[in-house]
Structure 1
Amino acid sequence: MRFSQYLVTTSKEASREAECVSHQLMLRAGLIMKFAAGIYSYLPMGYRVLARITSIIEEEMERIGAQRLLLPFVQPAELWKKSGRWESWGEELVRFKDRKGADFVLGPTHEEVITQLIKQQINSYKKLPVIVYQVQAKFRDEPRARGGVIRAREFLMKDAYSFCQSKEEAKVIYEKMKEAYKRVFSRCLLDYRLVEADTGTMGGEFSHEFIILTNSGEDRIVECVRCEYVAKLERAVCITDEAEKGERQSVKEVSTPGIRTIKELSHFLACQERKTLKTIFYETDKGLIAVLVRGDHYVNEEKLRLLLKVKELKLASDNLTRKEIGAEIGFVGPVGLDRNKLVVDNTVMQGKNFVAGANKKDVHLINVNPNRDFKPTLTGDIRFPVLGDSCPLCGNETKIKRAIELGQIFHLGEGYSSSLGATFLDKMGKEKYF
């Protein structure tokens, strides 16, 4: 074909909406065309690039014995209701009814569908383990579709699923998939990182994520300046500071009229934010709890949920806090909260002479000390790391960097097979979940 006949249109300038350099270049080179927010067409040149990447994925999947199939983009809501994700997924999940009133979803992922398929196709251990994969359209109604095809609402995803007889067998497949992903990204000449990650809405026991560093990324990672330690911000381990030296001073009340935020408080009392305390209340399926972190730190709700061993965790409303504690928001503190479960971050326990709310309007306490003025019900690592934190492996400084997710693998366990009743007969003739 003559190039003059080729469907490619280049331009000197990209749309002002294109913030990322990669997005601008793809538009200018005629690789993609935008139809709506997060919805794009791949033009012939762009599709050739996509096809080449797909061929690399196919080769590496075949290498580990994965079989390619194609699952439906439109999925019956019944499967999602059985797994519990009909309720747990938010507005990203597009729900609709057909002309007969039956509920369906546009597939954002395919765990339910593939589990149902395997349930009907395999009933004996003799056919296990099995690995299947697809390259299929997905739709997630992202609240902020940005970065071109990096964070699109409609996108192509390669998703693979393995079904095994045991946890041990599943872990072997997990490692095989991890190595396959490494080869895919290496062949694409990507300088990737492998990090521990949260399982999120997919669920499961543990997960790893492949990421690439870029200033345009929305994810954040913690990376050591010396050793190979790297982790997603929400999964990074925060090591405890050394115990602060000095004498514990006597608690005193100080007037702080209208001072509600940590920034205002540190400025008003001429102290560092790290010398203040934040008391935050959460509702859980085990009742109301109070959480205490340093003023310069933020609560990591996933770490908190795991420490408490609860399923439901949400920030308590201001009205509920006022009702339960009887204190005005901005002046709540840990002293005198014995009737509530008090969960304290490890870093707080190493400090001395903090500033905290006095549970009275326009009043704070100075020289508040753990174990003397308040006793925690539970302590643990429940915060996000901050710039300059020490590496949990070598003790050197860490840095926080921006990144983009390339891929993620999950060890899902029996979560989907148990909720959807997917079983097989083992060597002893006993029924077991995949």
Structure 2
Amino acid sequence: MLYYLFEYLDQQFDLPGTGVFQYTTFRAALAILFSLLFSTIFGKKIINYLQKQQVGETVRDLGLAGQVEKAGTPTMGGIIIILGTLVPVLLLSRLDNIYVIMLIVTTIWMGMIGFIDDYIKVFKKDKEGLSGKFKVLGQVGLGIFVGAVMYFHPGVTVKYEKVNTENSIEAIGQDSSQEFYGEESGSMKTTIPFVKDNEFDYAKLLIWLGDDYEDYAWLIFIPIVIFIVTAVSNGANLTDGIDGLAAGSSAIIVFALAIFAFVSGNIMLSDYLNVMFIPRLGELVVFIAAFVGALIGFLWYNTYPAQVFMGDTGSLTIGGIIAVIAIAVRKELLIPVLCGIFFAESLSVIFQVSWFKYTRRKYGEGRRIFKMSPLHHHYQKSGYHESKIVTRFWIVGIFLAIISIVTLKLR
């Protein structure tokens, strides 16, 4: 809204300073400041309201140090993250941008699923919350929406380098950014990390259908998007188990995605780094900046000892947003590295459950790989304090984010 106001003032009255709102970097800086201020100032008010409504976390005694003492801590704090993201986005971003619209829908969609789950747990006193099949149904619905937008919407395009060497030579010393790239076109291409010729077209998986195979690419692309959205949102949900772990790890991941969005959305940087140029993607940096600020602001109250938990309202939303951003910047194949913390937490649960079931069938009694899953609880059982676990997970997350960013050049 402020973007359109200052655009109008700049065009109609040429007021000094109003033109600065045209710059994505300026609005991104304002977005992160606004979201930080909002989530820290209004976060306390939201926590007090949740306390008055007796929205307290029910904690099972799993034999973990300090776990029982957390009973009664307000949950559903993900509302702070959602509002801390959406308010600056609505104020500072271009609301006609398809990527921004897609992320706003994702935030509200996943936030509603998580809110319903937390509401059932807290107010209906049902520890199971929303049935798993309804959660998955909601995630699948979002995946269908995102996949359809990415495939069918005319505003989702890429530009490719021209292969005509004469045009490239002629462009030297001139406006090479205009000459070097061809026209915008819709594409299902993504990027493969650590590979030199790193572009991969999902449509190629259907080449066996014949000459018109590209017309059916959505049949494979949309299921892939559904899987990514479901996997990452559930991974974030599993990571939310100790104070500050999910929010801090997510902030690191999202900051790295902001760099990818900025580079891929800037024609000069994408040219220099020889990466896919995605028109209009730069506007996504404003949304990501607001999201980072909201996560860090939430950490103010969520670090040990936590004054509020994000609940599924926050964790499912965080995972959904991260998945959709990764898909939008064509870096979804990098998720196992960039979201390595989520990946490890999910694998620990899968291995633990699978091994337990297998050994129970074979030996008559279930055996475990870890002392407890998800992985962070294994370290708690091993005697590590949760603040040390969180800090070390953050360090690993920073390491993985750096490796991910390096893929821009290292192939």
TM-score by length of 1: 0.20
Q: Which has the larger radius of gyration?
A: 1
The answer to which structure has the higher helix fraction is 2
Which protein has greater RCO, CA pairs closer than 8 Å, 6+ apart? Answer: 2
TM-score by length of 2: 0.21
